[in-house]
Every structure is written in C-alpha cells, then in structure tokens.
Structure 1
Amino acid sequence: MAPQDRLTETLDRVETPTSPTRHAGTLLRVEDLSVAYGTHQVVHGVSFGLRRGESLALIGESGSGKSTIARSVLRLLPPGIGHAKGLVDFDGHDVLSLPERRFRPLRGRSIGFVPQDPGNSLNAVRTIGAQAEEAAALLDEPRAARRTELVLETFAQVGLEDPRRVYDSYPHQLSGGMLQRVLIGLAVLPRPALIVADEPSSALDVTIQKRILDLLSRLQRDLDISLLLITHDLAIAAERADSLVVLKEGTVQEAGSTATVFSSPASEYTRRLHADVPALNADRYRHLRDAGGDRPGGERPKIEVSGVTKTYTVEGEALTAVDDVSFAVEAGTTHALVGESGSGKTTTIRLLLGLEEPDAGSIRVAGEEVSGRSHALLKLARRHLQLVYQNPFTSLDPTWKVERLVREPLDRHRVGTRQERSERVREALDSVGLDEDLLSRRPAALSGGQRQRVAIARSLVLRPDVIVLDEPTSALDVSVQAGIVEVLLSLQAELGLTYVFVSHDLALVRQLAHTVSVMHRGRIVESGPVGTVFDDPREPYTRTLLDSVPAGFGTAAVP
C-alpha cells in the first residue's frame, strides 16, 4: 500500500472538535460579494455555491478578482485597506460578520489554504519542521511527540519520500514541487472541510503540476474535502473541477457545471479564454508557423550544437549539467528545448549565448564558432544573437523608461546617430504592437504582457538573426501569452528570425515550434519534428511529459 493511500486512515484518528459535522448540502455560499481596496472596487456582486465534497474553479485573467474572492473567504484581505460586503456563509457561519476571535479557529482547522508560490509562502530562516508544528497545534493533540509523528506521517502521505529530511530542511533546500507538497500536507493535516488552492501549480513543471493536481484530487475524494480552485488555465479547471465561475474585471461572466460551461460557453469572454489555451488549440497559429518554416534557408543550419558537454564541481563532486548534447536549427525556424527543471535546458542556452564555456564540443551560429572568442568578438556576435528572459517583472530595470530600455543595446553597440536610434526604437515598439505613448513609462506602469513586449522589442532593436526565448510566457496569463506567441510568429514569418525556445509547456511548444529536443538529466533523449515526436514518442520520458499536459474536455465543440 502506497503511503498516500493511508491518508484517510491516519487522519481519521485525529479528533477536531471545531470541525463541522459532515452532511450533504452546500458548504460555502457566496452571495452578492463586493470587495474594494480603498475607494477602488475590484469585485462586483459575485455569487456562487460549493457543495460538500465537490470542487469549484474560479477562472479568469490577472485582475479578474479570483484571489481577492479567495482572500475574502479566508478573511485575509489587507486590514484597513480591503473591505468586503455581501454574504460569505461557510457551514452556517457568516464569515464577514464574525469577530476575528471567533473566525480564527475556523481558519486552518475547517478552511485550509494552499497559496500560489511555495517559495514565498514559507519562512526562509526557519526549518520546515518548525513551521509544520504551528499547523500541528491546530490538532488539539496535547502530546508534542504525537504531533510531530502526525506531521511526518502526513508528509509521507502527500508523496514526500524522506519525511524526516524534509522536516529538518530549510525551504531553500527543497524543490518547488516538494515545497508545494509540504504546503498541501500542512493544509490537510487538521482535515478541514474546505481547501482554498490559489494557483497551486502555476510555478511548477508540467509533470510536477500533474502530480500536485492529482494529489489534491485524491485528497478531496478520500477525505470528502471541498475544493475551491483558483486558476487562469481553463484546461486545468475543466479537468479538475465539478463547476466553474468565469470572472472578468470582478464580475461573473457565466457559471455552471464544468461540462456545460466548457462545451457551450454563453459569453464571448469564455470562448476567448478557451481559444487561448494551447492544450486545446494546437493548430491555432499553424498558418503563421508554416509561413516561417517555409522560408528558404541557407546551405547549412543557422545554429549547430555538436557534442557539447559542461560539468560543474559542487561540494567537491562533479556534476554533469549538459552531456554530449547535439542539435541543429534551420534558418527561419523555431527549435524547442523541453524538459523538467534540472534537465539542462538553461545551461545549454547559456553555452549557446557564450555566457559559459563548454568543456567539450562545438557551438556555431551562422557558421561562426561561439566558444573561445575574445570579449570584443563575443560582443560583436551578440548583435546577431539576443535573449528574451523568462520573467518580465524582473528582467527590466525598474528605474528606466521604456525608451531607454529598448535603446540601450543600440547605445552599447554605438549603432547610428541619436535620431536613427530613436527611429529604430519606435520601429521595434511598433513591430510588437506597442504605441509610442509608452516610451515615457517605467515598467511599474506596464502590464505583464506589455513588459514582455518591451523585452522582445529590446531584443529586436539590433535586428538580430537569432533570438533565444527562455520561458518567455510562463509568468503570463494564457490570454496574454497568446498575444505574445502571435507577435513572435508574425515577426518570424516577416523577418525570417530563428528562435531557440526553452519551455516545459509542451502544449505551447506544439503551437510554436517546428522541431524539438527533449532533455532529461543533461542529455537529449529524443529529437525531431514536433509533430513526429509528440504524436509518436519513442521514449518513456517523452510520453510522461505528454501525458502530463492538461487535456480538459479536448473534444468539446466550442461555438
């Protein structure tokens, strides 16, 4: 019997007097909920109900009010700033009107919370065990040794292989997937009636995401827990929730059973969300992708990586991050590197960009060797080889205005006159669909999608031949992501750009890339055209990655 199969058995022994008596019916009822931050109202008259043992997903883009609604249920709105009115009824308790001293026993015991970012949700200077004991205090178990034992049992049951090591570790010593399992374990430890999960897998690899969502689904079923799932991904919501509430700018666009909302969406907004999910629309950009791939290339590939190896020494031991990696990219096409965290993708692109030197092998861009160049020659090569970083919220200097951010590569390479540089900045902005009015803004005054478009404009301003895209949309909503993908493919079709696209999102890779290399533990285990590799994978690891992609109701007809 697997450890997680014993979860009900263990937690059934824990008696929690404040836990509500289980019976059929509605557990959480929200009616006419409105929330304001100061004078700015962000949620407008939202209503929905969640039955015991069932799951409901709140879906929508950033700013739609999903997390604000969840925090209203949890009474975690910023004190003195956030104000909620309406009705939030949890198992007969009027959450919004209860004094804090009477609501506090419900939070944790009866309502569990799994936050979005495990890296920022745990205290970095305290061990996992020290923080777990705070959750164990909710069990009303007087014996400290027994509380610790229950924590370790729960860690095992949520799939943590060495519970004692996890208990003794600090957060930075665990992976993102392990930290998320810790948070789920702490949430279910008191066996609450309701778990609120706020984007519980958005920062994780696709395989880890599936394991986390499978775990939540199993716990919900085995422990008869209701699940309020917050997500922007319609495919995940359709696959995991019994019912949906679709939100836009704090208002409900539509609500109902998952099957009904997904197969016959009533609102244009829901139809657009459906269209923006890569897993549900693999051929959405086929015309643009084919236009780029059909561009005639040169006699030899634009990028040639041959037998590249890179080894680091960590605590006296050799760690091979990239092991005999080879691939080629034809001019005007997109080649994707896919795999889980630690597979060697990032090290490979650092070698390609000349930020690291390989221990063995050769890397050529446009026939020129990248490694072994002097600083001056490498700087010259980078005029034709640019990078778009993963996170638009941290990759742009917050003190600079957009004009300076986009112009800086021209300044560094002393390209043209001041007037010519200004013209090229405006051309670059226009090519990514941004207006000149944004030139005087700083990053804080831009949305996530606008920031990433600025980053792409910055990479284009030198008119490079090759752009390396390192998870360029992973921090963005699916609708914003769709806009970025369309910009990238349009630019490729128009300018003949060559892309190396690094991602763990195989659904997005299918939309965007022509060829793919699957990396696992530093090696390429499978490579070829995207259609061939994804439709008929040879390797078990590739099949595991593909099986982890949320499918939702993939065959549903959407008007």
Structure 2
Amino acid sequence: MSDEDIVFEVDDLRIHAIRDDGSELPIVKGVDFQVKRGEVVALIGESGSGKTTISLSALGYCKPGLKFAGGAARLLGQDVTGMTTEELRPYRGERVAYLAQSAAATFNPSIKINEQVTEAPVLHGTKTQEEANKKALALYRALELPNPDTIGDRYPHQVSGGQLQRLMAAMALCGDPDLLVLDEPTTALDVTTQIEVLKAFKKVIKEEGAAAIYVTHDLAVVAQIADYIVVLYHGEIQEKGPTDTIINNPKHPYTKRLMAAVRPSPAAGQGDEDTGDHGRDVPALEVRDVTAGYGKGPRGGPLVTILRDINLSIERGSSVGIIGESGCGKSTLARVMSGLLPAAEGDVLLDGKSMRASYRSRSRDNLRKVQFVYQMADTALNPRQRIGDILGRPLEFYHGLRGKKKRERVAELLTLVDLRPEFAQRLPHELSGGQKQRVNLARALAAEPEVMLCDEVTSALDSIVGANVIELLKRLRRETGVSFVFISHDLSTVASFADEIVVLYAGRVAEKGPTDQVLSPPYHPYTRLLISSVPEMRVGWLEESMQTREALAGISRGVKITDIGCPFFERCPLAIEGTCDKVDPPSRKDGSGHVIECHREISELGG
C-alpha cells in the first residue's frame, strides 16, 4: 500500500488539559498510528485512556478545556490540528464523519429520517437532493434495513434501536466520506441487534472503500470488525498490531489484563453460589400473575400491554438475572416491582405480604426495603450535590440519622463500596464512571434494603471497571444478605453473577430456572438465539455465527408483542405453524425448578 492509501495519520500527537490556574496536564502523550483506505483501526482501553479524545482529532476537534499541544493529525495529508473552524468546514461531514454512541440523541425526533440522512451532502453542495436520495436508498439496502423504499419516510421513534443505529451509519456514509469515526456504536445494543449492526457496518465499510476508526472497550467486538488494534492506557500506546496478533498473542501486561476482564461466553458453572445463609421461609420478593403496560384502556386495563402473566420469586440473599432483548419488558418489570409503574393485574409481595401497586401508596418501610439502582449514574446523581449529601439524604429519610452519626455512616458506606471516606467531599463530575456507579450502589445500600433492582448497571462501563463492579455486588450479597434483581441484555455478565435466570421475551417468561440449568441444553429456542449471539473473542466468529439456523431465522427481526400464541413464532427455527401462532405454549418442566414455555417436547429442545 502506498502513502496515497493513508487516509488518516497521527504523528507524535499530544493533547493537554488546561487547569484553572492556567497550567497544563498531558492527556494524550505522543501517539502514532495510521488508518489506510478500506481498513478499520480499533482504539481500545479503559474509560479515561484517551480513545475518544484521539479519535476526535480526526475532525480537528478538542473537547472544551483541552488543546492540541504538539504533533500532527493528518487527514488526507493535511494537518487538521491547526485549522480554524472555517477551514475545517469542508472536511467535517464531507471528508470525515462521526458516529456517536447514541443514535437516539443524534436524530431530531421531529424531522423525517431521509431528510436527516441526506442533509449533509446537500448542504455541502456535493450532491443534489435527487443524488443524495439515490445514495441513501442504496445505503438502506446495503445496511439490510427493512422496507428500504419507505423507511426514510418514517420518524426516528418509528424504528427500532438497531435500525436507528444503522440509519446513523447511512447518515454518515451518504456524503461519501473518506474516514468514519465510530465511537462505541454498539455498546448500548442487545446481543442480537449488535451482531446485525456489526455485520452491516463491516460490509458497507468494505464496499464503500472508506477507512474507519472504531472506538470501544469491548474486545470481542473488536475481534469481529477491526483489521488493526491500538491499545491505549492513560493517553499512551501500550501495544499495536494486526487484530489476529493482538487477540491471539498479546505481549503487553495491560493488554493481557484487558483480555482477562472479558467475560467468557455464557455457560453452566459460571454463576455465583447462593450460600443459603440468609434464607427465610418466604421469598424476599415475589411477583404473582402480573400484567402491566402503559396508558389506560377503555376497560381499565393498560392501553398497551407490555407484561403478561409474569410469575417469579427472589429468595433472600439470592440473585436473579432477567435477560432479553430491548423491548422484551425487563425494565418495565423492575418498574412494577418498585411501584414506579403500578401493575394492572396481579400482586407484588415483600416478605410474603402484598404491597400496594403504586409507590405513592406504599409505606416508608416498603419503600426502604426495595431500592432501584439506575443504569446511568451520570443522570442518577445530582451534579450540584456533594457525595456526602447524596448518601446522607436516604440516611436522614429512612433512619433519621443526622450530624456525626450520619457522617460516620456515610464513611462506612463509601468503604463498603471500595471508595475512600474523603470521597464524601467530592462532586459527581470529579469521579470516574465506575466510581459514580459505586456511589449509585452506596445510595441504595444506605436504605438497608432487602432487594436491590439493578437495571443495566454495568452496560455503560468498560470491561475492567464492569468486572470490578460485579465482584463488588457479589461481596455485598454475601456480607449484607441483600437480594439482587439484575436486569441486563449482557448474558455473559448475568451468567457470572446470578444464581437464577429469567428469560423474558415480548413481555412473557420464555424460560426460567437455576443459572446452570438455563445455560445448559435443553434451551428455549429464544435462549439458544441469545447464547449463540454473544460475540466470542476470536477473528471470524461473526461470519460463522451468521450461518447458524438461529441467526438465519431470528436475528434480523424485532420483538413483537402478541395476544395469542407464542410471541417468538415468527423468529423461531422450530416453530409449528397452526399451533405456535394460535395457542399459548405449555410449561415444560425439566426438574430442579427449570421451566421452558414451548410447544416442543423437552427431548426436541436438547443439544
């Protein structure tokens, strides 16, 4: 490959942060790498390693408070670090396009999709509206979007998360850019959608002859899409080389540490053991015959039913993992348990006693005993309050602690989640993502709950920090006897933490039972699809996985809630026409509390 094939190059790039007193702190410390045409270069490392800061240099952009301090970032041979905003205008969106983590935040909800996808090339004058429309349609087909001829006429809220993520790629590619900057574009997606998006990105990048920088902390994803890997730590390159070499023969201790933090593919024998030390005669929390949804129908029930006939119980000191794709009803179930969404039918019982459906009507003691831990600690913590005040509020509200006793308990809580007591004086923005999530957990623990509802608490964290949080949760469970409901689309994480798993699909329980039973054959066909969709950390896995019967039958179709029959019917490789689509599936029991809701016999679901 000649120098003409180099699309982007960083040469001894240095970026500094400017402190309040005007002094400078090095953030990126002399980084060098190249991105060639048709090549995907992955930047990997923990939060704070400089991945996004380096990738944004391709647009000649520094975040507020940062400055280019030396070296060069050359896009098509031109150093963009010294250019003015006016000089950068022809490059941004035309020569280089940026894909953010959140497609939902990228699209304007009030403008139709096609208008937004075609806007940049039309504004830059590189394409007429007719040419841009033609290019967009070709991209919709290449990205394997449903109804490509009409999908552009919809609004963003009328397509699924995975479809919106691919439409964001179409928006970036519509102007025929030379370089794509993909910043964690699949982190928030569930496993089946992630496969679909990765496959589409990989195909289109090759076909369009573009180059790409792929920013991520997920090594299993990197193995599927990248040609070359750059491993970063604290703004410095620790190791770089072809993907196959880095994945199979890492040399640097930090790269090996990143590899060790990758969860193995979900399988029996990984779950945490429930010692039974905290057991009681009745479950800590029980859900009986719950139906719930949103809005009010003409007969008093929900206008849109999300959950139907849900039954499950959480024993004292146990951990129940609830898994399923986006739209399956996982978060809705947690909202019903907490009282944030009153159930239309059925009961939620705490220590064997029925609780009021709405949190507004629940006693203070009931509220104390069931605590919700939100996914995004950034938005869950008040940015203007110090950590000591954030933790102090539930101590006052539930336990009446004040003054010295409150300060002592705050220090104990911080220590419990592996933070130093002096963190009480800090503001949330002074903490890393993992530290904020620990504060989020400490606030829930301040109430001394019996049940903690953890909604995707590790999905926004890098692999090393996420693994540390899981180890913390295991220790808290052993020490405090608190029960966990762990909601996630990350099956590997659930497999490593839960002693029971509930598989939700379209608002119904498809399968439930002890972790080892659920992760061993026989499987519900949907559980098999989920397990087969978890990326493995090896090159070529994506292409192999797309040929399985589960993938061919079910990956590209979204979750559809149905009133009759099995909701998985349209995606199931074992579906029986005239039965599965007409009759609710029976419960197949496989011993040891393992239940599979399926028309097929247990013997047909093995292996």
TM-score (norm 1): 0.86
Paired position in structure 1 for 2:558: none
The offset of 1:130, in angstroms, is: 2.9
Aligned-pair RMSD on alpha carbons?
Answer: 3.1
More off after superposition, 405-414 vs 241-250: 405-414
The offset of 1:107, in angstroms, is: 3.9
Over residues 229-259 of structure 1, what are the superposed CA-to-partner deviations in whole Å (9 max), with x where a residue is unaligned? 1111122112321221100111001111222
Paired position in structure 1 for 2:293: 311
Paired position in structure 2 for 1:235: 220
Choose from 276, 279, 283 the match for 1:297: 279
State yes or no: 1:56 paired with 2:41.
yes
Query: Aligned partners of 1:372 and 1:96: how far apart in 2?
Result: 57
Paired position in structure 1 for 2:10: 30
Question: Are the counterparts in 2 of residues 386 and 467 from structure 1 also a CA contact under 8 Å?
Answer: yes
Tell me: CA distance 1:281–1:46, structure 2 relative to 1, closer, same or farther (3 Å): farther
Paired position in structure 1 for 2:420: 435
The offset of 1:325, in angstroms, is: 0.8
Tell me: CA distance 1:78–1:419, structure 2 relative to 1, closer, same or farther (3 Å): closer
More off after superposition, 100-109 vs 437-446: 100-109
Tell me: CA distance 1:112–1:555, structure 2 relative to 1, closer, same or farther (3 Å): closer
Query: Aligned partners of 1:349 and 1:172: how far apart in 2?
Result: 23
The offset of 1:63, in angstroms, is: 1.7
Query: Aligned partners of 2:257 and 2:368: how far apart in 1?
Result: 38
| Higher relative contact order, structure no. (Cα contacts within 8 Å, ≥ 6 residues apart) | 1
More off after superposition, 197-206 vs 271-280: 271-280
State yes or no: 1:147 paired with 2:132.
yes
Paired position in structure 1 for 2:559: none
Over residues 292-316 of structure 1, what are the superposed CA-to-partner deviations in whole Å (9 max), with x where a residue is unaligned? 4453622333222221111333798
Unmatched tracts of structure 2, length 5 or more: 19-23, 542-607
Tell me: CA distance 1:142–1:218, structure 2 relative to 1, closer, same or farther (3 Å): closer
Query: Aligned partners of 1:365 and 1:275: how far apart in 2?
Result: 39
Secondary structure at the residue paired with 1:328? strand
Match for 1:433: what amino acid? D
Paired position in structure 1 for 2:330: 345
Report 1:412-427 matches (<5 A).
412-415=397-400, 418-427=403-412
Question: Are the counterparts in 1 of residues 223 and 539 from structure 2 also a CA contact under 8 Å?
Answer: no
Question: Are the counterparts in 1 of residues 143 and 201 from structure 2 also a CA contact under 8 Å?
Answer: no
Query: Aligned partners of 2:507 and 2:455: how far apart in 1?
Result: 17
Paired position in structure 1 for 2:190: 205
State yes or no: 1:500 paired with 2:519.
no
The offset of 1:157, in angstroms, is: 3.2
Tell me: CA distance 1:285–1:294, structure 2 relative to 1, closer, same or farther (3 Å): farther
Secondary structure at the residue paired with 1:394? helix
Choose from 110, 114, 132 the match for 1:129: 114
Report 1:161-240 matches (<5 A).
161-163=146-148, 166-240=151-225
Over residues 239-293 of structure 1, what are the superposed CA-to-partner deviations in whole Å (9 max), with x where a residue is unaligned? 321221100111001111222222332222222222222246979986xx22x44
The offset of 1:24, in angstroms, is: 8.6
Question: Are the counterparts in 2 of residues 152 and 164 from structure 1 also a CA contact under 8 Å?
Answer: yes
Question: Are the counterparts in 2 of residues 87 and 96 from structure 1 also a CA contact under 8 Å?
Answer: yes
The offset of 1:138, in angstroms, is: 7.5
Query: Aligned partners of 1:280 and 1:272: how far apart in 2?
Result: 18
Tell me: CA distance 1:167–1:366, structure 2 relative to 1, closer, same or farther (3 Å): same
Tell me: CA distance 1:314–1:46, structure 2 relative to 1, closer, same or farther (3 Å): farther
Question: Are the counterparts in 1 of residues 39 and 212 from structure 2 also a CA contact under 8 Å?
Answer: yes
Choose from 258, 262, 275 the match for 1:273: 258
Query: Aligned partners of 1:186 and 1:220: how far apart in 2?
Result: 13
The offset of 1:26, in angstroms, is: 4.0
State yes or no: 1:157 paired with 2:137.
no
- Aligned-residue identity in percent: 35
Query: Aligned partners of 1:283 and 1:270: how far apart in 2?
Result: 27
Question: Are the counterparts in 2 of residues 280 and 554 from structure 1 also a CA contact under 8 Å?
Answer: no
Query: Aligned partners of 1:56 and 1:118: how far apart in 2?
Result: 21
Query: Aligned partners of 2:31 and 2:508: how far apart in 1?
Result: 50
Secondary structure at the residue paired with 1:393? helix
The offset of 1:464, in angstroms, is: 1.8
The offset of 1:444, in angstroms, is: 2.1
Match for 1:304: what amino acid? E
Query: Aligned partners of 1:206 and 1:454: how far apart in 2?
Result: 28
Paired position in structure 1 for 2:534: 549
Secondary structure at the residue paired with 1:531? helix
Choose from 223, 245, 252 the match for 1:260: 245
Tell me: CA distance 1:450–1:100, structure 2 relative to 1, closer, same or farther (3 Å): closer
More off after superposition, 364-373 vs 380-389: 364-373
Paired position in structure 2 for 1:476: 461
Query: Aligned partners of 2:385 and 2:83: how far apart in 1?
Result: 47
Match for 1:407: what amino acid? G
The offset of 1:516, in angstroms, is: 0.8
Choose from 382, 394, 399 the match for 1:409: 394
Secondary structure at the residue paired with 2:378? coil
Tell me: CA distance 1:546–1:22, structure 2 relative to 1, closer, same or farther (3 Å): farther
Question: Are the counterparts in 2 of residues 235 and 279 from structure 1 also a CA contact under 8 Å?
Answer: no
Question: Are the counterparts in 1 of residues 278 and 481 from structure 2 also a CA contact under 8 Å?
Answer: no
Query: Aligned partners of 1:524 and 1:97: how far apart in 2?
Result: 57
Secondary structure at the residue paired with 1:42? strand
Query: Aligned partners of 1:203 and 1:372: how far apart in 2?
Result: 30
Query: Aligned partners of 2:352 and 2:396: how far apart in 1?
Result: 27
Unmatched tracts of structure 1, length 5 or more: 1-20
The offset of 1:471, in angstroms, is: 1.1
Over residues 188-225 of structure 1, what are the superposed CA-to-partner deviations in whole Å (9 max), with x where a residue is unaligned? 22333432211111222222222111111111233333
Paired position in structure 2 for 1:248: 233
Question: Are the counterparts in 1 of residues 244 and 539 from structure 2 also a CA contact under 8 Å?
Answer: no
Query: Aligned partners of 1:79 and 1:391: how far apart in 2?
Result: 22
The offset of 1:383, in angstroms, is: 2.1
